[in-house]
A and B are shown apart, each in its own frame.
Chain A
Amino acid sequence: DSHIQYERVGADVTMKCGSMDWDAAVTWTANGTDINESRLNGSYLILKNVNLSQSGQYSCYEGSSWHLKYQTSLRVGMPPKEPVLMCRSNNYPKGFYCSWHLPTPTYIPNTFNISVIHGTKDMVCEKDVIPKNRCHIRYLQLFSTVKYKVTLTVTNALGKNSTTLTFDEFAIVKPDPPESVVAKPVPNNPRRLEVSWQNPSSWPDPESFPLKFFLRYRPLILDQWQHVELSDGTSHTITDAYAGKEYIIQVAAKDNDIGTWSDWSVAVHATPWTEEPKHLTTEAQITETTSASTSSFMAPPTTKICDKGTVVGSGAVAVCWTAGLVVAAYSVLFI
């Protein structure tokens, strides 16, 4: 006969060798390894203050014949703590889902039971296959002021625990983040970025239940975000970007009328358009420039020398200024 025995961490466990008398000569094994006789009290196996590592298969054999007399699978674990329960509607007005987890593991099997009551009516929460700690409910009514009461009970061999959430229909509405966020520079516009996105695919009817959006953006080099709230449309042009700076951009969504903001979308990066600095293209131009300073320094062919008259972004201007300083320094050296 094989058994399963659940014991709490820290408990003292006594195992009897089936129907054998206390004074019978027996040998106990744990996972096939003989257990020291010091652990025995007669034919009883005594395990004090058990810990998780002592889970396993325990077998008891009659002394001389080695007949297997008793076998048990010891599972050391814990009773469940209060579970963490969350309910949310990301597909309003179709329904909502609830998901749960335990704050600490029990190390033994648990069963979860969920009940949903709307007023006096019991509702069925259909368990999802994946993930298995989730179930979903279809709304039978909309616009009700009556609250929903969801109770989750977790049970295992060592105890049970439960938690209850009470909420109204509007409070748990939270869309998924917007999808396919794209940010692009605008040609010939050094301070603009064009951002577009799509409604989350889980939101079933954006035409009847439109979403509004919140855009946030900042240059990578700064910590402060700029925010824009948009009541319609799935695109926006940023017009105050710092020229030449790489930006990080995110978007969030909310039902136009009820509920809370989604999490932020995946971040996208973009840099506004900048004009390429102009080159000097002829050798004659390069020779003319260096002979005036009486130095034999010649700019290498790959150096780009800026034209002062060119309108460029602030970053490119700094580069131009630095190159000019280097040329001047070398010129002085060779006078």
Chain B
Amino acid sequence: MAAADSPSTALRRRDLCSRGIRLAGKMRADVIDLLDAYVERQGLDASASVAAVEGVPLAAVERWDEQTGTQRLLENLAAYRAFRTLLAQMLEEQREQLGEADAGLGRALAAVLLQVSAFTYHLEELLRLESRGIPGEEEDGPPPPPRLSIFEQKLRGLGVLRELAQWAVRSTRDLRQLAKPSSATGTAPGLTESP
């Protein structure tokens, strides 16, 4: 049987979760603005369907309500680490394609990248709080992508931003689950797993 949280641990978790929720909310708002700008500047159709691209973590999940707290944190961490790499790639590609002609888009991408990095750190803090080992980055990193045409790069960028927007909502929900007092004990969606 897992031990109950100390009051200070519970308080720290709630604090991290609240701040994480605010960060995820801001991140989502900025990603949605970035999506609009990206579609316009890249000359894409906003309603275009983008097939799942290798390496882009999908936010879609089955039986979300049955996940444990640890599963939530680990899946979030893996996703945001992947987004960090993908956004850095997008930034590089955007600079190559548009150069200084569209510094605004570059700045917006960089700002979102910063938020993703901050959120990743936040997730690592939550995992440390639960005395969970943090998986090494090399295990989570996406494989090097095949060389894509410029159009394929743009479409992939669209897919990345759309999934990131979904993840921001999912993360908000995940953190709310984690912040619940009941998540500190027991086996039902929470951080402590039964033996």
Which chain A residues (90-147) contact chain B, with CB distance < 8 Å? Answer: 93, 140-147
> Size band of the A side of the interface?
10 to 19
Report whether A143 and B172 are in contact in the complex, using a CB–CB cutoff of 8 Å: no
User: Nearest Cβ in chain A — how far from B30, in angstroms?
Assistant: 14
Among B65, B162, B176, B177, the residue within 8 A (CB) of A145 is: B162
Among B60, B163, B169, B180, the residue within 8 A (CB) of A141 is: B60
> In the complex where A93-B64, A207-B180, A257-B25 touch, is A144 in contact with B166 (Cβ < 8 A)?
yes
Report whether B169 and A145 are in contact in the complex, using a CB–CB cutoff of 8 Å: no
Which chain B residues (155-169) contact chain A, with CB distance < 8 Å? Answer: 162-163, 166-167, 169
Most B CB contacts (10 A, CB to CB) among A143, A145, A257 go to: A143
Distance of A146 Cα from B62 Cα, bound (Å): 14
**Does residue B173 face the partner (Cβ distance < 8 Å to A)?**
yes
What is the number of contacts between chain A and chain B, taking CB atoms within 8 Å?
46
Report whether B176 and A143 are in contact in the complex, using a CB–CB cutoff of 8 Å: no
> In the complex where A170-B169, A257-B169, A257-B172 touch, is A143 in contact with B177 (Cβ < 8 A)?
no
Count contacts on B: residues with CB < 8 A to the other chain.
21
**Does residue B28 face the partner (Cβ distance < 8 Å to A)?**
yes
Distance of A170 Cα from B62 Cα, bound (Å): 16
Residue of A nearest to B182 (CB): A207
User: Nearest Cβ in chain A — how far from B75, in angstroms?
Assistant: 11
User: Nearest Cβ in chain B — how far from A215, in angstroms?
Assistant: 22
Distance of A144 Cα from B60 Cα, bound (Å): 4
Distance of A142 Cα from B65 Cα, bound (Å): 10
Report whether A146 and B60 are in contact in the complex, using a CB–CB cutoff of 8 Å: yes
Chain B residues whose C-beta falls within 8 Å of the C-beta of A144 in the assembled complex: 58-60, 166
Chain A residues whose C-beta falls within 8 Å of the C-beta of B176 in the assembled complex: 207-210
Chain A residues whose C-beta falls within 8 Å of the C-beta of B60 in the assembled complex: 141-146
User: Nearest Cβ in chain B — how far from A188, in angstroms?
Assistant: 37
User: Nearest Cβ in chain B — how far from A205, in angstroms?
Assistant: 8
Report whether A257 and B180 are in contact in the complex, using a CB–CB cutoff of 8 Å: no
Report whether B61 and A142 are in contact in the complex, using a CB–CB cutoff of 8 Å: yes
18 interchain pairs, CB-CB under 8 A: A93-B64, A93-B65, A141-B62, A142-B61, A142-B170, A143-B59, A143-B166, A145-B58, A145-B59, A146-B60, A170-B169, A208-B173, A209-B173, A209-B176, A257-B25, A257-B169, A257-B172, A258-B169
9 tightest A-B contacts by CB? A144-B60, A143-B59, A143-B170, A142-B64, A141-B60, A143-B166, A145-B162, A141-B62, A208-B176
- Residue ranges of B at the interface with A (Cβ–Cβ < 8 Å): 25, 28, 49, 58-62, 64-65, 162-163, 166-167, 169-170, 172-173, 176-177, 180
